[in-house]
Amino acid sequence: MSAQENTSEEIDLGQLFKLIGNTIDKFFRFLGNIFKGIFHFLILFLQFLQKHFLKFTVALVIGVLVGGYWDHSSDDVYRSSMIVEPNFNSVQQLYNNIEFYNELAEGEEFQALEEALNIDNTLAKTLKKFTIESFSDQTQKIKQFSEFIQGLDTISQKMVNYDDYLKNFNNINAKFHKITIEAKDPKVAKKCQSILLRSIENNQYFRLQKEINEVNLALQDSIVARQLTEIDSLQKFYRKIKTLEAGKPEGNTSINLAEGDSKATPEIELLSQIKLLKNELVLLNNKKANTQSTINIISAFPNKGVLINDFFKKKMVLLPILLVGVVFVFLILLSINSFLKNYNPK
């Protein structure tokens, strides 16, 4: 390799390293300018706060004083919650009813609320808010997914997975739901409980669904009971055959009821069937208990609600934040206006 070629390669490498060095230098300068800009903005913001510190302090003090007086003069509000389990696809109607009551309470339509809940006007005026939300954890979702899959045919089961089920899971799909009432009277929620549930139970569609469910369960119960009776008769028959076979002389022909299967005797098969039928009876009894009412009460309203004392809902906290925010926006707009008046592109 000639000396000229070596010199040329050294020059190329030198230019490459110089280019890399310039690129790195520009990158760090760019980062430095960003940090300088952030620092400059922070200083301007602190100067702005320092300049108007007294205004912010006055707004904060006024907000605390007015908010404190507002909280002190306002009536206490109590919260009561109830957890329910709707049956017969009545959850949508339950949500609609709760939303309707909430609209009446927020609109202060106390006459309509009095008629809807069958309470006197004095109690109706104490109601402030109605809410309902789903009450479901991961374990319940998995259990509901398992029950959902079991109700599908083989082809549909292959087309649905747990992630798809969760994507389409909403409040309506949850098994348990929490109803919350906020009111000035701590005992009014308990008085509304029966009416809230009765409005669903008196619905003709759900009443018919409940009656059909009771008929179907009674039919399944009678079928299982008849099958147990028949199996009991078969057991007596097999015992009688065994007794007759035991009394016969040796060498006589015996009757084989196991159909060639020496391992599975009729008695064992009958015992297995009895066990399955008894398990089915247990499931039927559980279903009877769970569907005895259109709305199952898991946890009823307490006799007296809990006083709402949330810190971030107090006027003494919210009002100062609001006033300081208003003052801040107003001063920012004044500063922008002043900057635009004095702006000179030259």
pLDDT, tens digit, for every residue of 210-238?
A: 999 999 999 998 988 888 888 888 877 77
- Give the chain's largest Cα–Cα span: 130
Residues 22 and 56 in one domain: yes
Q: Is residue 85 part of a domain?
A: yes
The pLDDT value given to residue 58: 94
End-to-end CA gap in the chain: 61
Q: Is residue 283 part of a domain?
A: no
Residue 163 or residue 3, greater confidence? 163
The kind and range of the H/E element at 222 are: helix 204-246
Residues 26 and 89 in one domain: no
Is 212 within 8 Å of 144 (Cβ atoms)? no
- Residue 328 tokens, joined: 């801040």
Q: Is residue 325 part of a domain?
A: yes
Residues making up the chain, counted from first to last = 346
Residues 46 and 80 in one domain: no
CA-based nearest residue to 56, from 324, 335, 325: 324
CA-based nearest residue to 255, from 247, 244, 267, 264: 244
SS3 183: strand
Residues 14 and 41 in one domain: yes
Residues 33 and 127 in one domain: no
CA dihedral 306, 310, 314, 316 (to 10 degrees): 120
pLDDT, tens digit, for every residue of 166-196?
A: 676 677 778 899 999 999 999 999 999 999 8
Q: In which domain, by residue range, is 132 found?
A: 76-203+298-310
The pLDDT value given to residue 7: 56
